[in-house]
């Protein structure tokens, strides 16, 4: 056999040659598949990764043997063939074998211009890529003829002191060597490593006989694909140019034909119906047997079709979903394959508007990409202005040093949020993700001058309130102006893919949802329930803030209860709405968590308003506010500590929950409620709360003659709660790990301030990643695993979950699966990605451990 005459490193691609992507690269393997499908592929020889490594060291294969399959006067192309086509490779070099004799011969057969173009193109590629000469000296001339060719050959000789090589074997050897070396270049290595290639990734090369598409009869070259790269819908696109003579000047429209019949002009379909049909058949064969949508490169030579190459169709995120689903629906791939083929990040792109990747970007500043998607709007500096802007129907970007719960309504109203401080779990980031509002936090190089109402970029540019900027929460960039956007698009394929994912995943996915709107989003994304409802957000709605402040200022328990009685119906209505929307799916309600000072004003005008509202002297208000302030509020009077010190708040919340359950139950919905106690660090805290809550339950259930289907559980977010989970689980039906606070307390790292130095820490390798972003499996994960194990030891059926921001990330989902958790809970917009990742992890496990 021919291939046995070559070294084992060089193989002619035949149907039964030994060939694999891991040895010869993806292109070589794909060409073999085309050959096996009886497609008219010109003679091709593959060099393995080892052959190319040898060539880079100057040890070329036996050139005579390599060239033998191509006959006496070869004209060849050389293309890269890396293991994964996405890893790139050096540019292809065409027309290897052109020399003076061949030029003279071809000029007679096809005319001087055509032959000169082929030779000129080769000399240019050779000079730039092989001899590494200055590309500026080797522009293709407008006029291709013997004179311009002579000039380029002379330029080559002048630069190298050698005539242009005439021996095809020498030419090919040099081309192979230069391509092999290019693969080892620093920039090529960095580029492919950025795409996930291993450090020792190999390069194969394929040498193929040129099918020129030039000469008598129908001749030309083209590419065709059978789906639209943007939408993924079936559509024939590509191009075909009759006579493979791309013009050297600006236009190459001459000779271009439409592929399919078109009223605007001639088409390949009309001109060569049989070849066109053959091309369609090749496309169908590729789809069926390569199990992928391929872009096919072809030439027609005197009416005969040649298939030169086929590569995976480039595709947008939207198209990737549609193509995977269509292939599975047509039985070409399995549903499992379809689920494995789509990158979860593609789903996130589909859920949000994005800056058009082709649009120019005028980057003002970079921060932390905290909530994906992009939006443009006029700068506003306060939450009130954001609401006013929204009321006028003008999109705005809320720019704040950092946000506080008081800004929530402004964040709702804004198209995007930008803060100078904060990290991935800061208030702005958490709320932004929950609302699906694009958000960049920690843009510490930006300055806000509140007095002049201006924002200063690090390059000195200054923007006034009202100026247009764009927040790209996917990349963390803030851009000047309003670049074009790509709209979010959720189509049927998206839903289908996720339904399939749900069939394969083995861990629950819930959403963190605080409001009815969040709950609706959670339902739309098929979350199985609400894993965390942060109830404090409800107290910033409408006029509740005022009532909350009255409660904080109440002098006695009775006064406090009286004020809370006014909040009770509002809270009951909140819960009733949530329970109705969730229609019997679990809702985990976390009792009040933040320190009370978050509800109080921090500036003079706010204090004055408050004094007026409470009819108290301003100094008294100022004094009370000061008395409530703490050195370390996040480690202070919050969570269950408030529940114990000021029990009326939790009593009111429990009553509202139970009454809402009764009300919703009366309408035929059976709510399933988990009541969660935050910031627990000792078993006695849970014991005390449990008895209070049970008392409230009895008080509500008795008169209503209702059975309340609720569970009481604990949010494990202090290291001590994880360490003592065996005692805590005595009183807790579930343990939900709040990895935001747990990370903060495990590292002793403020989640609101870490953004200031996090990038320096990550850059210097102190932390591999921002632990608020990527769950620290070694440290925080150890505590979570320990807590889970100790909790289970005491109560084997304790329900386990993660509800910190990590819940939507692949590593945290993998961790939770490994430790047999019941579910993860994440922001509603991360739910689709989490469903897909959970399914991919389950499927990958099945492949590894069938």
Binding site for ligand PEP (CB under 6 A): 430, 532, 534, 593, 717, 738-741, 803-804
Tokens of 111: 């005319």
Q: How far apart are CA 781 and CA 436, in angstroms?
A: 28
Q: Which of residues 631-690 bind Mg ion (CB under 5 A)?
A: none
Q: Which of residues 726-755 bind Mg ion (CB under 5 A)?
A: 738, 741
Q: What does the CA dihedral 155, 160, 164, 168 come to, rounded to 10 degrees?
A: -140
Is there a binding annotation on residue 36?
no
- Coil vs helix vs strand at 298: strand
**Burial zone of 569 (CB within 10 Å; 0-12 exposed, 13-18 middle, 19+ buried):** exposed
Closest CA to 444 of 426, 425, 462, 423: 423
- Say whether residue 438 binds Mg ion (CB under 5 A): no
Q: Judge contact between 370 and 433, C-beta under 8 A.
A: yes
Contacts 24+ apart (CB under 8 A), 64-71: 64/169, 65/5, 65/6, 65/7, 65/10, 66/6, 66/10, 66/172, 66/207, 67/168, 67/169, 67/172, 68/2, 68/5, 69/2, 69/12, 69/43, 69/45, 70/43, 70/45, 70/207, 70/209
Does an H or E element contain 317, and which?
Answer: helix 317-329
Catalytic residue, candidates 286, 396, 439, 803 = 803
Query: CB of residue 804 vs ligand PEP: minimum separation in angstroms?
Result: 3
Query: CB of residue 684 vs ligand PEP: minimum separation in angstroms?
Result: 21
Q: Which residue's CB is nearer to ligand PEP, number 102 or number 537?
A: 537
Is there a binding annotation on residue 293?
no
Instruction: Residue 847: count other Cβ atoms within 10 Å of its Cβ.
Output: 9
Query: CB of residue 779 vs Mg ion: minimum separation in angstroms?
Result: 17
Is there a binding annotation on residue 474?
no
Catalytic residue, candidates 129, 427, 597, 806 = 427
Task: Name the binder of 739 from ligand PEP, Mg ion, none, CB < 5-8 A by kind.
Answer: ligand PEP
Query: CB of residue 80 vs ligand PEP: minimum separation in angstroms?
Result: 47
Q: Which residue's CB is nearer to ligand PEP, number 228 or number 717?
A: 717
Is there a binding annotation on residue 534?
yes
Query: CB of residue 721 vs Mg ion: minimum separation in angstroms?
Result: 11
Tokens of 630: 């703490």
- Coil vs helix vs strand at 577: helix
Query: CB of residue 674 vs Mg ion: minimum separation in angstroms?
Result: 16
Exactly one of 54, 717, 770, 805 binds Mg ion (CB under 5 A); that residue is 717
Q: Which residue's CB is nearer to ligand PEP, number 528 or number 741?
A: 741
Kindly list the distances between the CA atom of residue 597 and the CA atoms of 594, 697, 748, in Å, as whole numbers in the listed order: 8, 29, 22
Is there a binding annotation on residue 717?
yes
Q: Judge contact between 45 and 36, C-beta under 8 A.
A: no
Q: Which residue's CB is nearer to ligand PEP, number 550 or number 593?
A: 593
Task: Name the binder of 534 from ligand PEP, Mg ion, none, CB < 5-8 A by kind.
Answer: ligand PEP
Q: Which listed range, 230-238, 336-344, 548-556, 717-725, lies at the site for Mg ion (CB under 5 A)? A: 717-725
Strand 396-400 relative to strand 374-380, pairing: parallel
Is there a binding annotation on residue 741?
yes
Is there a binding annotation on residue 566?
no
Task: Name the binder of 218 from ligand PEP, Mg ion, none, CB < 5-8 A by kind.
Answer: none
Task: Name the binder of 572 from ligand PEP, Mg ion, none, CB < 5-8 A by kind.
Answer: none
Q: Which residue's CB is nearer to ligand PEP, number 44 or number 535?
A: 535
Q: Which residue's CB is nearer to ligand PEP, number 179 or number 812?
A: 812
- Binding footprint of Mg ion, residue count (CB under 5 A): 3
105 catalytic residue (yes or no): no
826 catalytic residue (yes or no): no
Does an H or E element contain 194, and which?
Answer: helix 186-194
Task: Name the binder of 732 from Mg ion, ligand PEP, none, CB < 5-8 A by kind.
Answer: none
Q: Which residue's CB is nearer to ligand PEP, number 168 or number 804?
A: 804
Query: CB of residue 636 vs Mg ion: minimum separation in angstroms?
Result: 13
314-339: b or e for each residue (b if 16 or more CB lie within 10 Å)?
ebbbbbbbbbbbbbbeeebbebbebb
DSSP H helical ranges for 534-682 = 544-553, 557-582, 604-614, 618-628, 640-645, 648-666
* Beta-sheet strand order (sheet of 44-47): 10-12, 44-47, 203-209, 76-82, 93-96
- Coil vs helix vs strand at 486: strand
Residues within the annotated binding site for substrate? 534, 590, 717, 738-741
Residues within the annotated binding site? 534, 590, 717, 738-741
Residues within the annotated binding site for Mg(2+)? 717, 741
Could you list the residues that contact Mg ion (CB under 5 A)? 717, 738, 741
Enumerate the active-site residues: 427, 803
């Amino acid at each position: 056999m021919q291939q046995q005459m070559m070294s084992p490193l060089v193989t002619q691609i035949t149907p039964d040659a030994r060939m694999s992507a891991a040895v010869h690269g993806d292109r070589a393997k794909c060409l073999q598949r085309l050959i096996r499908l009886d497609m008219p592929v010109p003679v091709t020889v593959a060099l393995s990764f080892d052959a190319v490594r040898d060539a880079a060291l100057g040890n070329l294969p036996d050139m005579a043997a390599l060239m033998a399959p191509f006959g006496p006067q070869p004209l060849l192309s050389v293309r890269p063939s890396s293991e994964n086509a996405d890893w790139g490779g050096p540019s292809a070099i065409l027309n290897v074998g052109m020399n003076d004799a061949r030029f003279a011969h071809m000029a007679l057969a096809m005319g001087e211009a055509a032959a000169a173009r082929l030779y000129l193109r080769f000399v240019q590629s050779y000079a730039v890529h092989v001899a590494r000469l200055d590309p500026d000296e080797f522009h293709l001339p407008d006029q291709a003829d013997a004179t311009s060719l002579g000039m380029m050959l002379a330029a080559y000789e002048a630069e190298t002191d050698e005539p242009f090589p005439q021996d095809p074997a020498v030419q090919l050897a040099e081309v192979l060597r230069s391509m092999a070396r290019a693969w080892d270049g620093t920039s090529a290595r960095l580029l492919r490593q950025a795409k996930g290639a291993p450090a020792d990734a190999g390069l194969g090369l394929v040498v193929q006989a040129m099918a020129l598409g030039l000469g008598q009869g129908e001749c030309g070259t083209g590419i065709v694909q059978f789906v639209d790269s943007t939408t993924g819908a079936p559509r024939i696109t590509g191009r075909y140019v009759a006579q493979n003579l791309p013009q050297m000047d600006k236009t190459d429209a001459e000779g271009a034909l439409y592929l399919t019949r078109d009223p605007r002009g001639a088409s390949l379909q009309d001109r060569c119906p049989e070849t066109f049909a053959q091309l369609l058949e090749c496309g169908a064969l590729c789809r069926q047997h390569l199990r992928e949508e391929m872009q096919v490169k072809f030439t027609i030579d005197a009416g005969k079709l040649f298939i030169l190459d086929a590569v995976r169709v480039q595709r947008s995120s939207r198209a990737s979903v549609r193509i995977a689903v269509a292939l599975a629906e047509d039985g070409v791939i399995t549903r499992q394959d379809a689920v494995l083929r789509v990158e979860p990040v593609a789903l996130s792109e589909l859920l949000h508007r994005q800056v058009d990747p082709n649009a120019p970007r005028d980057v003002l500043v970079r921060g932390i990409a905290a909530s994906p998607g992009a939006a443009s709007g006029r700068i506003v500096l306060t939450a009130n202005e954001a609401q006013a802007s929204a009321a006028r129907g003008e999109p705005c970007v809320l720019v704040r040093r950092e946000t506080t719960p008081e800004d929530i309504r402004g964040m709702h109203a804004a198209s995007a949020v930008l803060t100078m401080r904060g990290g991935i779990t800061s208030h702005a980031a958490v709320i932004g993700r929950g609302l699906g509002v694009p958000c960049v936090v920690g843009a510490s190089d930006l300055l806000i001058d509140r007095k002049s109402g201006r924002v200063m970029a690090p390059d000195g540019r200054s923007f006034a309130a009202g100026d247009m900027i764009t927040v790209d929460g996917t990349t963390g960039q803030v851009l000047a102006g309003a670049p074009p956007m790509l709209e979010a698009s959720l189509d049927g394929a998206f839903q289908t893919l996720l339904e399939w994912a749900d069939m394969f995943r083995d861990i629950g996915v819930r959403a963190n949802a605080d409001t009815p709107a969040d709950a609706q989003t959670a339902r739309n994304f098929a979350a199985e329930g609400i894993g965390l409802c942060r109830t404090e957000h409800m107290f910033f709605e409408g006029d509740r803030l005022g009532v909350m402040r009255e409660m904080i200022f109440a002098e006695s328990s009775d006064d406090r209860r009286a004020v809370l009685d006014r909040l009770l119906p509002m809270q009951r209505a909140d819960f009733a709405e949530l329970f109705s929307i969730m229609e019997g799916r679990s809702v985990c309600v976390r009792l009040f968590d933040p320190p009370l000072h978050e509800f109080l004003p921090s500036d003079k005008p706010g204090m004055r308003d408050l004094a007026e509202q409470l009819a108290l002297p301003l100094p008294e208000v100022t004094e009370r506010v000061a008395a409530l302030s703490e050195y370390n509020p996040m480690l202070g009077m919050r969570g269950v500590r408030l529940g114990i010190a000021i029990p009326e708040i939790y009593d009111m919340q429990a009553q509202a929950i139970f009454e809402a359950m009764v009300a919703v139950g009366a309408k035929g919905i059976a709510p399933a409620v988990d009541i969660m106690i935050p910031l627990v660090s000792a078993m006695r805290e849970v014991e005390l709360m449990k008895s209070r809550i049970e008392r409230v339950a009895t008080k509500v259930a008795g008169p209503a003659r209702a059975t309340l289907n609720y569970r009481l559980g604990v949010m494990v977010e202090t290291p001590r709660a994880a360490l003592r989970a065996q005692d805590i689980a005595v009183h807790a039906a579930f343990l939900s790990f709040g990895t935001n606070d747990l990370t903060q307390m495990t590292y002793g790292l403020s989640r609101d301030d870490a953004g200031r130095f996090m990038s320096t820490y990550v850059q210097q390798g102190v932390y591999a990643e921002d632990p608020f972003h990527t769950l620290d499996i070694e440290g925080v994960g150890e505590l979570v695993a320990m807590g889970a194990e100790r909790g289970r030891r005491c109560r084997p059926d304790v329900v386990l979950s993660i509800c910190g921001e990590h819940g939507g990330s692949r590593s945290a989902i993998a961790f939770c699966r490994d430790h047999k958790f019941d579910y993860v809970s994440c922001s509603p917009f991360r739910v689709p990605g989490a469903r897909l990742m959970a399914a991919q992890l389950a499927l990958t496990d099945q492949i590894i451990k069938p």
